[in-house]
């Protein structure tokens, strides 16, 4: 357990933890449809599971966009001949986050338990499951290969603080243009690099 405790503040481990929470949240929605579920107040039961799940989907995506992907762009693989470089991984992720956000917003427009609500929730699940697989196999793997444990722990603390300080209600959860996001963060990186050079003289 000591080892686990040591690595638990690694941002890539914290992201995996949230992914597990997502998978279990969607599984809990399945369970609410089982034959032995108490039929009383089905809408309230669905809301009790979906409310926190939808909130975490939104906050998690923004936290990754503020804390994880900017550093992936700076430190991740940059071999342009390889499909899996950090720019490609980030473009994919922001696009996926937008698809997930669209589905959670669609769910918010419908009565929990209605056909339209289930359709939106299932869409969020499908988009999110596909995204998590790619993020885990590509972006998180790239990040671990190219950062130190201390860097990942420092970012993990920021990720935890960000999540503790925010709910979806106080964040801008509108879609991000993937190309603009990458351009802006690469420009920030260039400025930081120039500042570093200037500061060194």
Which residues of the chain form contacts with Fe ion (CB under 5 A)?
A: 15, 64, 135
Please say which residue, 112 or 156, places its beta carbon nearer to Fe ion. 156
Radius of gyration of the chain from its Cα atoms, rounded to whole angstroms: 19
CB of 198 to Fe ion, least distance (A): 34
CB of 148 to Fe ion, least distance (A): 21
CB of 68 to Fe ion, least distance (A): 8
φ, ψ at 184 (rounded to 5°): -65, -40
Per-residue tokens: 161: 């603080």
CB of 135 to Fe ion, least distance (A): 5
Cβ neighbour number for residue 153 with a 10 Å cutoff:
18
Per-residue tokens: 24: 């279990």
**Cβ(45)–Cβ(39) under 8 Å?**
no
Any idea what DSSP says for residue 201?
-
Q: How far apart are CA 175 and CA 155, in angstroms?
A: 24
Q: How far apart are CA 173 and CA 93, in angstroms?
A: 15
Please say which residue, 11 or 49, places its beta carbon nearer to Fe ion. 11
């Amino acid at each position: 357990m000591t080892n686990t405790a040591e690595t638990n503040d690694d941002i890539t481990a914290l992201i995996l933890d949230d992914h597990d929470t997502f998978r279990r949240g969607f599984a809990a929605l399945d369970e609410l449809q089982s034959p032995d579920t108490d039929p009383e107040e089905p809408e309230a039961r669905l809301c009790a599971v979906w409310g926190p799940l939808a909130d975490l989907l939104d906050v998690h995506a923004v936290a990754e966009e503020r804390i994880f992907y900017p550093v992936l762009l700076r430190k991740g693989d940059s071999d342009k001949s390889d499909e899996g470089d950090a720019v490609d991984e980030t473009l994919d992720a922001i696009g996926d986050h937008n698809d997930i956000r669209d589905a959670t917003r669609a769910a918010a427009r419908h009565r929990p338990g209605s056909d339209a609500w289930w359709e939106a929730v299932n869409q969020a699940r499908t988009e999110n499951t596909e995204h998590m697989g790619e993020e885990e196999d590509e972006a998180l793997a790239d990040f671990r290969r190219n950062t130190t444990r201390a860097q990942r722990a420092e970012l993990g603390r920021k990720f935890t603080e960000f999540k503790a300080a925010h709910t979806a209600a106080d964040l801008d959860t509108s879609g991000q243009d993937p190309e603009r996001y990458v351009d802006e963060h690469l420009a920030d990186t260039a400025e930081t690099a120039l500042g570093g050079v200037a500061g060194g003289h």
